[in-house]
Amino acid sequence: MKAIESRVLVRVLGGGPTEKIGNFELPSDPSGLEKAEVISVGAKVEEVKEGDQVYIYQGAGKEFIQDGKKYRVISSSEIIVVL
């Protein structure tokens, strides 16, 4: 898999704690951030590289599943910090 343009492909590391309210499952972490591993970066992304661990906004980007693993495609602006 390869990200294109200014997109970044990440794998979220752990879902973080959640709280179930009725039919909704909401994040109970007040920071609203998730730790993720960078899998691929588009050609226009210079801030991160493959293998970096980053914090992203919780629920950022579009999630998909391939080979039983969850991935997200985010824009580089949704990355808060590179660890």
What's the confidence (pLDDT) of residue 21?
Answer: 77
Three-point CA angle 20, 24, 26, nearest 5°: 65
pLDDT along the chain (83 residues), means of 10: 96 73 69 89 96 91 92 95 93
What's the confidence (pLDDT) of residue 61?
Answer: 95
What's the confidence (pLDDT) of residue 34?
Answer: 86
- Count of beta carbons in the 10 Å neighbourhood of residue 25: 11
